[in-house]
Structures are given as structure tokens and as C-alpha cells.
Structure 1
Amino acid sequence: MTGKIQAATTKIPASGTEKGMTMTEYVKAMQPAIKKALPRVMTPERFSRITMTALSNNPKLQETTPQSFMGAMMTAAQLGLEPNTPLGQAYLIPFKNKGKLECQFQLGYKGLIDLAYRSGEVISIQAHTVYEKDEFDFEFGLEPKLKHIPTKETSKGDPVWFYAVFNTKDGGYGFEVMSVEDIRAHAAKYSQSYSSSYSPWKTNFEEMAKKTVLKKVLKYAPLKTDFVREISQDESVHTELSEDMTNLPNEYIEPEYEVDQEGTADEPSEAEKAAILESERLEAGNED
């Protein structure tokens, strides 16, 4: 996506839902502003269909602030990704933020791969799960090596490693490997919605683990500025509409609690607290 550096923004009013409008009615009332901010490749009709599907898939989204919901939907639309569908491209996550239920945009690993291919610099990019019964070995250094032979047995065992590889059009390549323990510790420390009941970490752990290792390996790839700005939208919260959502600041504020299935606030579990402490130990002195 190529946006305008000084794209105009539109404040999203909050009064609609406060006066008893449903989120569906609110979206319809916002159609003029939505149409102005949508990319050329997406019609207002398609945007409305995707929005209704997202609200149907997760009714809790209807309770989020309209500003954050519309901001998340527009971010997904401008990136050309359909959220909360089996495609696994992106997710809209409700969570408690300073006493309000907000909606956060989150990339899926397939969405990340799509954006990488669109950048034009990467000709091949993959992420894989390594199971207990697979043959797997890797080595870093001056002559890095990576070997993975999946087991042919029906019972593969549990996931133990995740890795991602890329090849560029200029012949460059790179790979990154993370253990399941590394993934969990990293997610507990850096993923703002990790403990949310609606987080894809709860329902699609392997896919989110692949996204984590993909983001790690892409740090070594020659990336264009537009692509970097696009993936920076991961775990963002916006309350304005713009012709280029990537120009807007992330308005996320560290929440005190996450939202469970009933909509009540729960503190992080002891296991999650332990994972955060472990991540700090593992990554002490390292730049994320």
C-alpha cells in the first residue's frame, strides 16, 4: 500500500452507540467517511460485508468503542486483509483498556506473508512447525545450516520448534528458529493481547507462533519502507480514519486487565506472570 504522507484524518464520533445505535447502524452512519478512506481496490459494499462478518464471528466486538472498532476495520481494509475469517490474515481483538472495551488490530501469519510477497523483495517465505518425531537440526555461524525432515507417522507428537525462512529476488536468504518455550515467553512479554480469551494465541497458537518467528527473520531481510510501516500496524489501536492508516500513531495504552469470555476482567495467571519473568531473563540485554 502506498499512502499519502499528509493524508487527511477524520475523528470518529462516539455518540452513535451511546444513543442506542447498534454497531451495524453506526457503520452505516459512517459510510461517507468510510468511503473516503477506503482504498480503491475495496468498495464500501465489500467493506460492510467484511465488517458484518467480523461482528458475527465475535459478538463481543459490538461492545467495543466505535472509534477503536472502526479504526481496526479500516486498518485491515487498507492493508487488504480480511479479519476474523478462516484465512487467518488478521484479527480484531477486544480487550479492556483504561476502563473501556477497545478493539485492537492484529496481523495473522498468513497476512504477514501476503504483505511480504507484495513488497516485491521476497520471492519465497515460509514458516513451519517442528514436531517431536521430526528430524530437525540447525546451526548458525559463518556457514548456517537448517535441516527439517517431517515424520511420516500419523502421530507427530507435540510442537517443539518453529522456524521461518526467506529468499530474496537478489539471491539472499535467512532463517530464524525459536523453541516453544521461547515463543511463549516472547508472547507473554510483547503481545499485548496474549492473555485475552479472544486472542488468537488461545485458538491458533501454532499460527501465532509462526508469525512471531516470521517477524524475527524479516528483521534480516531487505525491506521497503512501505512494508515496514504496514507490519508496524500489528497490535495497533486507532480512533481516527485516514487515507493512510499507517500514518496514525498507535493509541494503545497498556491495559490493566484483559477480557474473558463473559466480558469480566481477570488478572494474568501465575503461569503467564512466570512466562513474563522468564522472557525478561532470556532476552535481557537483547533488542527485540
Structure 2
Amino acid sequence: MATNQDVKNQLANKANNKPASPATTIAAYLKKMGPEIEKALPKHMDADRLGRIALTTIRTTPKLLECNVPSLMGAVMQAAQLGLEPGLIGHCYIIPYGKEATFIIGYKGMIDLARRSGQIQNIYAHAVYENDEFEYELGLEPKLKHKPATGERGKMQYVYAVAHFKDGGYQFEVMDMQEIEKRRGRSKASKNGPWVTDFEEMAKKTVIRHMWKYLPISVEIQQQATQDEVIRKDVTAEPEYIEMDAIHVEEQQEGKPSALEQEQIDFE
């Protein structure tokens, strides 16, 4: 006959054998990938900070917790390779597409990459609404003039981007909404993520990206930026199995949790 102590022991064993939560598992993989993330990052960025931001982004988007780990780690690694932080300031996004996590560069990320070239003095994009004063002209003497309306501006009609070079030259591109929507339709993330929550920012990025090939930017950055919306499984392959109990024991031996683990503790 089972005693009360036996019942307590059985309950304790069940609790100890409880599978790790998705957020805990992802935190463990991010910690294990820390050295690789650090190698990929530019010198001005910190791997631990990127890991915390990535974990926060993932755990605050429930559908990302359902994505497979290789695609999540691939998206984080791509952010690291480009030196961009996901979510918080619009540099880039990690969004769920079924069970796959997809990396998408944001408007501010494109601006940041362009400025790193050292050849661009200023770069920006603006949306034009139906009540604004707007005219542009191409040909031998291109011209662009935009005076935003005050008060009600109406519907968005155009988006344009301008880049001023340090040698005094400039480049601009203009797209109407039909062209923006056509390019949006090519994205597998067209119906969720920033295309839904931050449409204007994504429209601006679309125009800047179209102008990209005319900018004095290194081939390396050109290629990196065109990897947008591609899951980089090649940088992670199938992640090796991580023994969760071993990680917990390791942290206990060190005497205090890592920043990533502390982030998870705060969340739980």
C-alpha cells in the first residue's frame, strides 16, 4: 500500500521530469549559439544583448514559439550577420510563417546598412498622401517636390526615397501604390508581420530596396540586403540536442544565471 511519502515522491518525480517549455528550450539554444553569434556580429554590437532581444521578440509572439528551432536560430544568425536588432526599433523582424521563422529587414535596417557604406551623407523615404502637394520629373533634369498637407492628408498614393552622396550627387526613386502592392504580393509574409502592422515602413523599405542597386554600397552589403526574407538554415543546420538538465546544473555550478536565463526567469 502506497504511503503519503510515496505519493509525494511520485509527484515530485513527475514535476522534475516535466518537459521544458518552448521558451526555455529556445533560450538554451540561443545560449549555446552565443559564441557563433558573437563571431558574426560587428564589433559595436554585443552578443548577449542580441540574444536577450531575440528571446524577448520570440516569447512575445506566441506563434514564434511554435516554429521549428533551426529556422528561429537561422533568423537570429542572419540578424547577427547584418548587425541588426530585431523588433524593438524596426531594424528587422522575425515573423512566423507556418512552422518556419522568417527574417525580414525593416526600413530602418535598410537605412542603417546604407549609411555604413561611408559614401552616403543622408538617406530617407517618405509617403505621399492624396492631399499633399507632390510633383516629380525624370529626364535630363530630374526634379522632386513634396509639401505634406496639414490636417487630413487622405489616402497614401506614392512612396519615394532619396539618397544624398558625399560627393554632392543624389539618387531618388518614386513608386505608386499599385507598384508597392505588386511587390508586397511577392513576399510570402505579405499577409502578416510588418506588412500588416507597419505597412508604411515596409512600403518605404520597398522603394529604398529598389534604389539599392544605384547606391555606392559595397558588394558584400548589397548581397546581404538581398537575402531579405530568406531563412538561413545553412548557418545552423539541424541543431544538436541540448540536454536541458545539464544546462541547469551548469548554471547552478556557476552560481548565477546568465543574462539570457535571467530574462527567461523574469518571463516565467
TM-score grouping bracket, smaller chain normalisation? 0.7 to 0.9
2:190 corresponds to: 194
Q: 1:136-147 maps to which residues of 2 (within 5 A)?
A: 136-147=134-145
Structure 1 residues not aligned, in runs of 5+: 1-15, 243-288
Q: 1:19: Cα distance to partner?
A: 10
Q: 1:20: Cα distance to partner?
A: 10
* More helix per residue: 2
- 1:25 matched to 2:21? The reply is no
**What is the RMSD computed on CA atoms of the aligned residues?**
2.4
Partner amino acid for 2:96? P
Cα deviation 1:115-174 (Å, max 9, x = unaligned): 10011121111100111110001111111111111112x211111111011111122211
TM-score scaled to structure 2, two decimals?
A: 0.74
1:227 corresponds to: 221
1:52 corresponds to: 55
State which of 183, 186, 208 in structure 2 corresponds to 1:214: 208
- What is the aligned-residue identity percentage? 46
Q: 1:172-191 maps to which residues of 2 (within 5 A)?
A: 172-188=169-185, 190-191=186-187
Q: 1:44: Cα distance to partner?
A: 3.4
Contact 1:38 1:77 (8 Å CA) reproduced: yes
Structure 2 residues not aligned, in runs of 5+: 1-18, 237-268
- Tell me, in whole angstroms, the C-alpha distance in 1 between the residues paired with 2:58 and 2:198: 19
RCO comparison, higher one (Cα < 8 Å, 6+):
1
Q: 1:32-51 maps to which residues of 2 (within 5 A)?
A: 32-51=35-54
- Tell me, in whole angstroms, the C-alpha distance in 2 between the residues paired with 1:44 and 1:29: 12
Cα deviation 1:172-224 (Å, max 9, x = unaligned): 21111111121011210x223112x3x21011110000000111122222221
1:167 corresponds to: 164
- Tell me, in whole angstroms, the C-alpha distance in 2 between the residues paired with 1:22 and 1:52: 11
Q: 1:262-277 maps to which residues of 2 (within 5 A)?
A: none
- 1:62 matched to 2:59? The reply is no
TM-score scaled to structure 1, two decimals?
A: 0.69
Answer with 1 or 2: which has the greater Rg. 2
2:148 corresponds to: 150
Q: 1:233: Cα distance to partner?
A: 2.4
Counterpart secondary structure, 1:129: strand
Contact 1:131 1:161 (8 Å CA) reproduced: yes
Q: 1:33: Cα distance to partner?
A: 4.2
